[in-house]
Every structure is written in C-alpha cells, then in structure tokens.
Structure 1
Amino acid sequence: MNLLVIDDHSMLREALCESLSIAKDITSIGEAESGRVGIEMAIHLEPDVILLDVDIPGEDVTVTLATLAERIPRAKILIVTMHDDPVLVHQLSRMGTTGFLHKSASRDQLLCAIQNAARGDNFVLVTPRPPVSDLPTKSAATLTEREYEVLACVQVAMSNRQIARELGIAEGTVKRHLRNIFDKLGACSRLDALNRAQTGLTRVACQVDGTT
C-alpha cells in the first residue's frame, strides 16, 4: 500500500520512512511538513494510508482531518501523537480516523498498525508499555482475566479480527468484551481504557511471561 506522512519534524519523517523501507508491502510516496501541503499531496498522490501528526504548530488537526476525509475519503488516516487525551481521541475518532499511533511505538508496531489500517480494521492503537505496579488500580479491579487478555492484544495494535484469532474466540465476542471493558472502566475509547487499566495489563503480561 502507498503511505503519505504529514509531520513538521523533518528528521522524524526521514527516520519513519527509513524504518518502513524494510516492508515489502508499504511504499512511502510522500512527506509533508504541514497539513496544507499534506492535503495537496494527498489529492495528487491518492495514498492508501496517511500518518498525520496531531501537533503541527499553527494548525488545527481537526481542520486538516476534516479536509482529508472529504477530499480523499478512501484513505485511512492514522493520528500520530505523544498525547493520550481521551477527549481528543474521542473527537478525532468520531471524525473518521482509523486509529492512533503513539510516537514511542516500535517499528514492528508501526508496521502492524499501518497494515491493519490499510485492510480497513478500524481504530488501530499503539501506546507506550505501562509502568510496572504490584496492585491493580481501583478502576481496573472489576475486569475479568479474559478482558485483560483482550486489552493486552489491543495494546500491541491487534484488530478485532486478530484478537479473535489470537484468543480463539469469535469477533463478535471480542466486540462484546470491549463494550464491557468500556462500561466497567468508564472509558470512551481504546486508548482511554488502556490508560485506566494500565497496572492490570502489567499483571497479565507478567503471568504470560511467567514472571512475578
């Protein structure tokens, strides 16, 4: 698939495109330093996936996103961010983003997120690994072990379809688990749910790894 990167940091754009050069199925067809330039390039190049930085100085990402969605409706848009503001996540997800990618994501996570987005798997998500803690947070205490397993899969950018294969359950069951997780944690998005259940996810990861 063809990829367009919109980010005001030239070194980050170059490093990103270099990381993607190993992927046989991803071709970087353009880099833009602003939303305005990115929109012009997207209209001309018609990329399959667009990586859009949420924090380009002097620009409103909602304006750029709305224009891209209107002019290039077939393109999948991944928001690249250093933030985890649930209000912003909710706002941008309702505007048609495919998902959110944290700038601390590894190369493998980045590739997985882009590939999932190109296939149309909505709300791809990568977040930094949570800090280790001995006790679960109060908000995460009511989650079941299966719900923790689902969140652990979400944390590494798995789509609903991939989670279903990984856990050996139906995709509809995955969606039901996610709805239950959102209700229990009072979360408005996958990113918000991950933040609220951070220590619980650490506990599950330790059990899977066989550590204490």
Structure 2
Amino acid sequence: MTAASVADLESVVRQDGAPDVALANFSGRLASDPDFRPRLAELLDVLDGIPLIMLSDSDETVTALEAIRQGAQGYISTTVGLTMALEAIRLVAAGGIFVPAPILHRMIIEQSRVPDPALHAAFSVPAPEVNGKPHLTQLTPRQIAVLECLQEGKPNKVIAHELGMRESTVKVHVRNILRRLGATNRTEAVCRVMREDN
C-alpha cells in the first residue's frame, strides 16, 4: 500500500489489514532540518504503533540516531543494498531495530571521543516521566500537547491551528488519546488526567 500524504496514510492505517511496517522516504532531509522532527512526529502519531522505517539519502550518524530516538524503528540509507534492506524490514516487522553497520561503527567511535552536543543529545534517551502522571507516559509529546488543549476546552480546529497540524491529524490524536487513556470521550479523558493531579 502507498500513501502520498499524511491524509492518505490515515486512511491506510484505518483499513483492515493495516501494514505490519511503514516505510517513509525522507530523501536527504537531515536532523538539522527544522521540518525533520515535526514531520517524523506526525508520521509516528498517525501510525500509532505500526513500526516506522525511515528511508534516507543520508548516512549521517546524528540523523539516524535522532530518527531512532524519536521513535523510528529502522533507518535505511541508500548505501544499503537491496538484500540488506529486505532483511532490515523483516527485522523491524519482528520487533527489532535496524541501523546500518557503518553508522553504528561511527557511533561507537564518536561515542568514545568527546561527543558534539547534537550527537550527545541523540544518545540521551530520557526515561518516561510526565509530571508524575502514569497515564501520560503512554502518550507521545504531540498527543500530550493535544491533551493540554483538550483540558482548555479547545475544539479540533483551534487545536490544529495552534499546534500547526491538520484538523484530521488532531482527530487521529484525539482518538489515540482516548484509546490509550481508556476513555470514551474527551471529557472523560480530561477527567482521568485531572484526577491524577489530586
């Protein structure tokens, strides 16, 4: 199945027989690109648990590590051969994480030196902790931002405008928030979170 846009991806994910793995082509976009993190976060939120493999023309260590740190489960650069790419997809489908060996090798070498701040940030993965609220550790950063807007009673259209996303993406976030919090509607989700404040 293919999806040319996030909206297409939303409909693919909702279908019966949703894919076991999703591949997203990021071309030569690097972690330093301001659109990198928001675009990746949006894809991961829409996929909601379907493993994502990033396809990239770059084999930059920091970009690969940032992709994995953000939640991608694979990073395949165009330097990887077809046989290895197919094995990488199988590995991710089975629950593993794939990063090409040359990138891992550079990572090990760079880690032994004094790391630059970007590489250091890519290595540090904080433990899940959201204001001591156990429910919130199940949510992605974008879902938490949407939930905060729900707590203020904002409609989807306003949330979409404030967070720089499409209204359809907000609806996906709300649906996923409700499911992860075990709530049947927006009000119940907000009440569950507010109870944890007490």
Whether TM exceeds 0.5 here: the answer is no
TM-score of the two chains, using structure 1 as the length reference:
0.42
Q: Which has the higher helix share?
A: 2
TM-score of the two chains, using structure 2 as the length reference:
0.45
